[in-house]
């Protein structure tokens, strides 16, 4: 069988590439060894945000912050929550993925593929799920196999057993306690999710702060939120060993204060993700990989083999479904149409769906300084934002990172209720090369969280304590 484009994987990058190719009139085949749709719809974005929304509803009932309003929350029914989440995932997978393949007219083969034929004449050997074998030839190939949770080599962990973010969302009973290994985006979301469902949670982060790759002010705000919700935080912490089994586990954790053995019902590992490349025979196809197994590509998503392309999490870049989709679409256009498309990450927005949310666009102060650009920054506490004040939730900050001298906005970083929505405007401002003066003079509706961008920009010329919606 010969096609214009053969794709291994069926997530966001794969589907964007297939749609771009079909729009160009090209023939496409897709090979998927697991469930169609990839990480986002099946085990990532969709199920986690569904459960986070449910946990937020329970938390709101259990911790009412408005005078004169009394609410209460009973125990969470995890089996019903998980069942409802599964129904939602199945519906979205059918409508957003499987249905699209049929509409656009490409075949999805259930099976496992690997490269053969050598660098000069690559083909895919496919072992179908039904046991049959096939050889697929194509003008171009795209690898979009995504990433999977990385499990650190902690003595005793495999034997004791652990959860990942994916398997944790399959639980039908809530554990009494949980250790979350990892304090970045996935670990933070999982920790708050289970805390709000009634689980006693501890986070162990190897680096010296939560959200360790963001702004220090963001990390401090997140730690305040989490400790306020009863989450135990251990930073600069190394999990030395794990013991136990299905009825409970113990972990020895080393911090600056020494080693301590603590007991938990479950351990959830959220220590990062690694590209899925095992078994593809990339070396035999002339495709180079990096130290973490990521496929190395140029700016056009082409690998060292000019007929093989890669996109999405497997390339080791930003692990978001929208970056995967951008890379996948560009890879197909470049392969089939010689379009020369590249992805611009300068204003890339990203959101961690805690509550309040963590959101950012553009570089941090440290990253921009590392690029040799002098910075001028302002940090606005949410206690200066009217929307936060009337909503009685002033937990959080907004930080603007600007170029010294020109005032050009280069980065925006926030912890705030609604930060995920606000960051789109910030991304537009960065892309448009707006200055802090431009931002300070731009319309912002009163009593919206987006007004914090304008107020933070005004802080470059005014005392934060004197900011007002009336300032011009």
Q: Same structural domain for residues 358 and 421?
A: yes
Which percentage of the chain shows pLDDT scores above 90? Answer: 94
Q: Say if 422 falls within a structural domain.
A: yes
Mean pLDDT of the chain: 95
For tokens 């912890």, name the residue: 415
Q: Same structural domain for residues 134 and 281?
A: yes
Q: Same structural domain for residues 280 and 236?
A: no
Tokens of 283: 């070396």
Round to the nearest angstrom and report the end-to-end CA distance of the chain.
66
CATH number at residue 301: 3.50.50.60
CA distances from 21 to 7, 276, 397 (A): 11, 24, 43
Q: Same structural domain for residues 161 and 107?
A: no
Tokens of 379: 């940090």
Q: Are 158 and 243 in contact (CB under 8 A)?
A: no
CA distances from 390 to 218, 321, 370, 446, 462 (A): 22, 34, 39, 12, 23
Q: Same structural domain for residues 368 and 456?
A: yes
The pTM (predicted TM-score) of the whole model is: 0.95
Tokens of 149: 């949770």
Residues β-bridged to residue 249: 244, 264
Distance CA 65, CA 75 (A): 20
- Which residues span the domain enclosing 229? 157-271
Query: What band does 98 get if pLDDT is binned at 50, 70 and 90?
Result: confident
CA distances from 375 to 32, 378, 423 (A): 46, 10, 20
Q: Same structural domain for residues 78 and 186?
A: no
Q: Say if 471 falls within a structural domain.
A: no
Domain end (from 219, 241, 271): 271
Tokens of 452: 């914090």
pLDDT of residue 461: 87
Q: Are 193 and 52 in contact (CB under 8 A)?
A: yes
For residue range 32-53, list pLDDT tens digits in order: 999 999 999 999 999 999 999 9
Q: In what order do the strands lie in the sheet with 397-403?
A: 349-352, 357-361, 409-416, 397-403, 375-381
Distance CA 49, CA 321 (A): 14
Q: Say if 429 falls within a structural domain.
A: yes
Q: Say if 342 falls within a structural domain.
A: no
Model confidence at 115: pLDDT above 80: yes
CA distances from 262 to 50, 177, 241, 403 (A): 31, 11, 11, 46
Count of all residues that appear for the chain in the document? 472
For residue range 212-231, list pLDDT tens digits in order: 999 999 999 999 999 999 99
Distance CA 35, CA 402 (A): 44
Tokens of 342: 């590249």
CATH number at residue 359: 3.30.390.30
For tokens 């005014």, name the residue: 462
Q: Say if 455 falls within a structural domain.
A: yes
Query: What band does 467 get if pLDDT is binned at 50, 70 and 90?
Result: low
For residue range 12-24, list pLDDT tens digits in order: 999 999 999 999 9
Model confidence at 302: pLDDT above 60: yes
pLDDT of residue 468: 59
Instruction: Name the residue among 1, 35, 34, 31 with its Cα closest to residue 14.
Output: 31
Q: Same structural domain for residues 261 and 283?
A: no
Q: Same structural domain for residues 317 and 424?
A: no
Q: Same structural domain for residues 279 and 134?
A: yes
Domain end (from 337, 359, 391): 337
Q: Same structural domain for residues 21 and 135?
A: yes
Q: Same structural domain for residues 249 and 320?
A: no
Distance CA 459, CA 388 (A): 17
Domain count, the chain: 3
For residue range 313-364, list pLDDT tens digits in order: 999 999 999 999 999 999 999 999 999 999 999 999 999 999 999 999 999 9
pLDDT of residue 464: 66
The alpha carbon dihedral of 456, 457, 459, 460 has a sign of: positive
Residues β-bridged to residue 188: none
Q: Same structural domain for residues 280 and 209?
A: no
Q: Which residues contact 13 (CB under 8 A, 6 or more apart)?
A: 38, 142, 144, 146, 311, 312, 313, 324, 325, 327, 328, 331
Distance CA 260, CA 266 (A): 17
Distance CA 455, CA 451 (A): 6
For residue range 50-80, list pLDDT tens digits in order: 999 999 999 999 998 999 999 999 999 999 9
pLDDT of residue 158: 96
CA distances from 134 to 31, 73, 109, 123, 127 (A): 11, 55, 10, 10, 7
Q: Which residues contact 191 (CB under 8 A, 6 or more apart)?
A: 180, 183, 201, 203, 226, 231
Distance CA 89, CA 367 (A): 37
Domain end (from 337, 359, 390): 337
Tokens of 93: 């997978």
Q: Are 303 and 296 in contact (CB under 8 A)?
A: yes
Distance CA 174, CA 76 (A): 8
Q: Say if 7 falls within a structural domain.
A: yes
Q: Say if 437 falls within a structural domain.
A: yes
Is the backbone of residue 272 left (phi > 0), alpha (psi -120 to 50) or beta?
Answer: left
Query: What band does 247 get if pLDDT is binned at 50, 70 and 90?
Result: confident
pLDDT of residue 99: 87
Q: Say if 286 falls within a structural domain.
A: yes
Q: Are 331 and 311 in contact (CB under 8 A)?
A: yes
CA distances from 95 to 41, 98, 99, 366 (A): 11, 7, 5, 42
Question: Could you tell me what percentage of the chain is helix, strand and coil, using 3-state DSSP and rounding each to the nearest 5?
Answer: 35, 25, 40
Query: What band does 195 get if pLDDT is binned at 50, 70 and 90?
Result: very high
Residues β-bridged to residue 107: 29
């Amino acid at each position: 069988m010969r096609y214009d484009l053969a794709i291994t994987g069926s997530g966001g990058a794969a589907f964007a590439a297939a749609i771009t190719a079909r729009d160009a009139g090209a023939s496409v085949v897709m090979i998927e060894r697991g469930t169609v749709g990839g990480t986002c719809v099946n085990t990532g974005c969709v199920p986690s945000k569904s459960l986070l929304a449910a946990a937020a509803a329970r938390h709101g009932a259990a911790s009412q912050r408005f005078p004169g309003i009394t609410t209460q929350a009973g125990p969470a029914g995890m089996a019903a929550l998980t069942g409802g989440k599964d129904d939602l995932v199945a519906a979205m997978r059918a409508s957003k993925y499987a249905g699209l393949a049929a509409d656009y007219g490409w075949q999805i083969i259930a099976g496992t593929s690997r490269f053969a034929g050598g660098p000069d004449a690559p083909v895919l050997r496919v072992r179908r799920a039904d046991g049959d074998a096939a050889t697929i030839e194509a003008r171009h190939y795209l690898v979009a196999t995504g990433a999977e949770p990385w499990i650190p080599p902690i003595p005793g962990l495999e034997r004791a057993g652990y959860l990942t973010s994916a398997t944790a969302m399959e639980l039908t009973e809530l554990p009494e306690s949980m250790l979350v290994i990892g304090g970045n985006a996935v670990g933070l979301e999982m920790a708050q999710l289970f805390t709000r469902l009634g689980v006693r949670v501890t986070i162990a982060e190897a680096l010296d702060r939560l959200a360790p790759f963001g702004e220090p002010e963001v990390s401090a705000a997140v730690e305040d939120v989490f400790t306020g919700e009863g989450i135990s935080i251990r930073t600069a912490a190394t999990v030395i060993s794990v013991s136990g089994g299905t009825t409970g586990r113990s972990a020895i954790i080393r911090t600056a204060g020494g080693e301590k053995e603590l007991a938990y019902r479950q351990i959830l590992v959220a220590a990062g993700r690694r590209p899925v490349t095992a078994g593809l025979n990339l070396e035999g196809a002339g495709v180079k990989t990096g130290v973490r197994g990521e496929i190395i590509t140029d700016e056009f998503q082409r690998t060292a083999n000019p007929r093989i392309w890669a996109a999405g999490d497997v390339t080791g870049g930003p692990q978001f479904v929208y970056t995967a989709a951008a890379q996948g679409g560009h890879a197909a256009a470049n392969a089939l149409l010689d379009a020369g498309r590249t992805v611009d990450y300068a204003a890339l927005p990203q959101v961690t769906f805690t509550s309040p949310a963590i959101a950012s666009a553009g570089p941090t102060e440290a990253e921009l300084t590392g690029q040799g650009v002098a910075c001028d920054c302002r940090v606005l506490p949410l206690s200066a934002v009217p929307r936060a004040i009337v909503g009685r939730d002033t937990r959080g900050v907004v930080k603007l990172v600007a170029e010294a001298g020109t005032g050009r906005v280069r980065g925006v970083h926030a912890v705030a209720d609604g930060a995920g929505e606000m960051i789109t405007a910030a991304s537009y401002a960065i892309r448009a090369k707006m200055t802090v003066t431009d931002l300070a003079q731009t319309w912002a509706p009163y009593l919206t969280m987006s007004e914090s961008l304008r107020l933070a920009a005004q802080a470059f010329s005014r005392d934060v304590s004197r900011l007002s919606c009336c300032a011009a």
